[in-house]
Structure 1
Amino acid sequence: MKIKLLFILLLFAMISCDGTLGGFESRSFNTPKQNIKRAIDTLFATNNELKIPEKWNEHDDWEDRGFGFLDTRIFYFQSEPEEMYYVSFVENGNEKQDENGPTILAIRSIFTKRHNNWLKEEDFDDMEKERIETRFDTEIISKLENYSGVKAVRKN
């Protein structure tokens, strides 16, 4: 009986969390997490246009979906295609990783104006995936490299 109850609770948790997050290619910075967090803070401070616009605030519902425990940021792109990238720090639970690096970032989901919904990597064809990865590298990662003084390595 306890096993059935546990199974039902686990199933309910998976459904209510809307499944798991996918992941695009990761970007690894050989530096402590605090350095990249400061770089992201600088990026947002100097590029207000990357912040979620009020019209899309309601779509920042990740905590309600059960992902509030993740250390994440959302980057908004106004130019076409208008979209937001839900990006997380990829961690292994090792505190030494936070202190010494590497620090790893990955896009977990994309909100598109066209779909009016969050989509995972598997929802895009190869051409769209590469467009997203290139936009992330050009508009976010290159600036984080500049602010942190550390070059990122793109990994599958």
Structure 2
Amino acid sequence: MVLNKRIISIFIVFYILTACDGTLGGFDTIKFFTSKNELNEAINNLYVNHSEYKVPNELEKFNNWKKSGYDFLEAYTFYFDKNPKEFYYVSFVGDDETFRDTTHVDIAIRSVFIIDKKKWLKEEDFNEEEKIRIQKRFKDEIISKLEEYTKTKSEDLNE
């Protein structure tokens, strides 16, 4: 019986995510013209070369997505120390079949943690000006570096 409830819970979470085009919060989906493995490698290189984007140990307790039932998502968290201090929960968009395509892979911000509020917020919780600021910061500080590492240009699928 417990197993059935767990399976039903997983199915409901999966349905909610896929019904929303694979995003929790609806921030822009960014397409990279490379494989998922290459983008994973680029993200790992970014963490090595720019450790400032890693969530500091004292804030790691808020990086609790796995405990919240999202451990099935392959995701990364990017920390920003300059005001406004925040971190972004970013994951791949798609399913196993999509990820087998080695010509491109999509990622998107799923949620933003506001450090002053100690709270995770979804895209719908922000006004338009804040949404633009968040997406610009992500593109300027993270996407631009990933483009360098993958030697590709990305495409914003929402523009």
CA drift of 1:137 comes to: 0.2
Secondary structure of the equivalent of 2:42? helix
Quick one: which of 113, 116, 119 aligns to 1:114?
Answer: 116
Output aligned runs, 1:32-47, within 5 Å. 32-47=35-50
- Segments of structure 2 that go 5 or more residues without pairing to the other structure are 14-22
Output aligned runs, 1:1-156, within 5 Å. 21-94=24-97, 97-156=99-158
C-alpha distance in 2 between matches for 1:129 and 1:82: 15
Counterpart code for 1:110: V
C-alpha distance in 2 between matches for 1:119 and 1:101: 32
CA drift of 1:115 comes to: 1.8
Counterpart code for 1:143: K
- Segments of structure 1 that go 5 or more residues without pairing to the other structure are 15-19
Question: What's the TM-score, normalizing by structure 1?
Answer: 0.85
Judge conservation of contact 1:88–1:106 (CA < 8 Å) in 2: yes
C-alpha distance in 2 between matches for 1:99 and 1:26: 17
Counterpart code for 1:23: G
C-alpha distance in 1 between matches for 2:100 and 2:121: 28
Greater Cα offset, 107-116 or 71-80: 107-116
C-alpha distance in 1 between matches for 2:74 and 2:26: 15
Judge conservation of contact 1:89–1:105 (CA < 8 Å) in 2: yes
Percent of aligned pairs sharing the same letter: 40
| Residues paired across the two proteins, number | 143
Greater Cα offset, 66-75 or 55-64: 55-64
C-alpha distance in 1 between matches for 2:100 and 2:141: 24
CA drift of 1:99 comes to: 4.5
C-alpha distance in 2 between matches for 1:85 and 1:105: 12
Judge conservation of contact 1:34–1:98 (CA < 8 Å) in 2: no
Counterpart code for 2:140: T
C-alpha distance in 1 between matches for 2:91 and 2:34: 16
Superposed structure 1 runs of 4+ greater than 2 Å apart: none
